[in-house]
Structure 1
């Protein structure tokens, strides 16, 4: 009798485990992973925030496939540690190069200096992946006077992209355009465009909300990218600009998000089904950054591997407004 119960329980557990694996496979669309690694060989990728999470996995996947990665990181020591780790792990005889450039998105001066060095020293830039981000971080003001989320997640990347755009364009062709990818989040839907966020010195501790700040910054980045794609079309540059959300990924991006042990236990089955690994998240970004299927999708937003329409309430007029306010905010560094 006891053995029968154990057998029944064992079968139930095995069945549940199998069902979870199948559901995870379906929900994460594991059969559609990025499989065009041959397109990465010999190309040069710039990745912000490349020393952890998705950025670290992007660096690894690209380098192993023979691509060359320039890591743009604020913390030089962590960046060097990642390079040593990835090189020690790799057994690939055709591994591309990995180099490090220190850059702080919280400083327009640092971004300008890094962009100048890259333009002068790097032969080509085939793809810029604007990956670095902060989420629900404590209130902070950058040296340029902007709230930390809006500068790290949006304005800093907008400045970097604008400064490098001619170099990126020179590396592409109509048949094989260069790429710019803004790593996005589905939480843009909760965002609001607040004019004060684009004005130095306007955000204070009294009117700051960390949850709101993250969603707002991701919405600003998404709308800016959409309008940037129109500007690139007007200029005739061989560049494809896309935004891509990797979905929920387990990285240190959520380090400021605190949960009680009870909530962690309660949410663990959900996490097992729907939360991606950094490697899975990176393959989604690569789909937007290098897949032949995304060459003709300038201005698109990818949620997972599928192109998704941006919610209609965020229309073209708002994209133009965000683009204009962004350019005005970073204008001092462009003069």
Structure 2
């Protein structure tokens, strides 16, 4: 494997089923297109089906579209039911979709928009699909975090939904920190249940529509220094693709760009903040997420028996 890992290093994906959320544009589009190009059967799980079909038309291979609105638990459950019916096995679940720096608002279920979309929606989707991954050797759950998990980031259990005050930067930091803590706690639980692993990745600073709500004090530097500080989606997707396909990847790892500040560069193993490794907070966040979403994960004897008999 070359030192500077590229799309050409993706192993043959024929026979594998990959679900990519938010795959009609930006990083998700680049991720899905690369996987389809290597032979995977790819599902674009997107909020806007028409845009999803337009994206699928630009990809070669077996690409289908599934409606999924992560701001609605009803939509998450409906999408999971459709995906379960269509796919007895799933090799890759890539939790890519997200929102960033949105004005104060809530999802359809009353959760703060960034926490509800980026973390709770993916938490629920993963829990509802996990039994399709557990029997599959080498299956992976890859969740996309951000360098923003370090910026004003904490899990505010006393005000998870930012009802008393609101910081769009702080709320994004909480959501992206939650993505990492979910990955680490999921991996700890998966370690007892076969070969499925949980991995995280981040794209650095990529030139995508996600940044449209960036506050002015951050937007101006990005406008001036964009060519220096950002990279194109195809490059930003490489850490996710490596986390999803590199045979050397291990559960609980985190991949991002290798440049200064991890804003751009070649995908490599990186470190997350000390706060992200607090196991007691990870466990508490997991319990709260189960309560808020009503989704429990299938870590039980039934799943083990199913795998043993397959």
Normalising by structure 2, we get a TM-score of 0.85
| 2:160 is aligned with 1:211 | no
- Counterparts of 1:1-335 in structure 2, within 5 Å, are 31-84=4-57, 86-87=58-59, 95-170=60-135, 172-173=136-137, 177-190=138-151, 191-198=153-160, 202-204=161-163, 207-234=165-192, 236-257=193-214, 259=216, 263=220, 267-268=224-225, 271-294=226-249, 297-304=250-257, 305-314=267-276, 315-331=278-294
Distance change in 2, residues 1:123/1:57 (3 Å)? same
Contact 2:11 2:246 in 1 (8 A): no
The offset of 1:317, in angstroms, is 1.7
Give the stretch that moved more between structures: 35-44 or 208-217.
35-44
Q: Distance in 2 between matches of 1:136 and 1:112?
A: 26
The offset of 1:333, in angstroms, is 8.0
Contact 1:33 1:284 in 2 (8 A): no
Q: Distance in 1 between matches of 2:215 and 2:108?
A: 28
Q: Distance in 1 between matches of 2:45 and 2:296?
A: 19
The offset of 1:223, in angstroms, is 0.6
Aligned length: 286
More helix by proportion, 1 or 2?
A: 1
**For residues 144-177 of structure 1, what are the alpha-carbon distances to aligned partners after superposition, in whole Å with 9 as ceiling and x for unaligned?**
111110011000000000111110112x22xxx1
The offset of 1:189, in angstroms, is 1.3
Q: Distance in 1 between matches of 2:273 and 2:162?
A: 27
3-state SS of paired residue (2:274): coil
The offset of 1:259, in angstroms, is 4.3
Distance change in 2, residues 1:197/1:241 (3 Å)? farther
Q: Distance in 2 between matches of 1:299 and 1:265?
A: 31
Which ranges of structure 1 fall in alignment gaps of 5 or more residues?
Answer: 1-28, 88-94
Contact 2:71 2:108 in 1 (8 A): yes
The offset of 1:298, in angstroms, is 0.8
Contact 2:130 2:297 in 1 (8 A): no
Distance change in 2, residues 1:37/1:309 (3 Å)? closer
The offset of 1:123, in angstroms, is 3.4
The offset of 1:30, in angstroms, is 9.1
Q: Which residue of 2 aligns with 1:19?
A: none
**For residues 262-319 of structure 1, what are the alpha-carbon distances to aligned partners after superposition, in whole Å with 9 as ceiling and x for unaligned?**
9358732xx323311100011221000011110xx11112222222333334422222
The offset of 1:65, in angstroms, is 1.6
The offset of 1:137, in angstroms, is 0.8
Contact 2:201 2:254 in 1 (8 A): yes
Q: Distance in 2 between matches of 1:246 and 1:197?
A: 28
Q: CA RMSD in A?
A: 2.4
Q: Distance in 2 between matches of 1:232 and 1:30?
A: 29
Q: Distance in 2 between matches of 1:301 and 1:31?
A: 17
Structure of larger gyration radius? 1
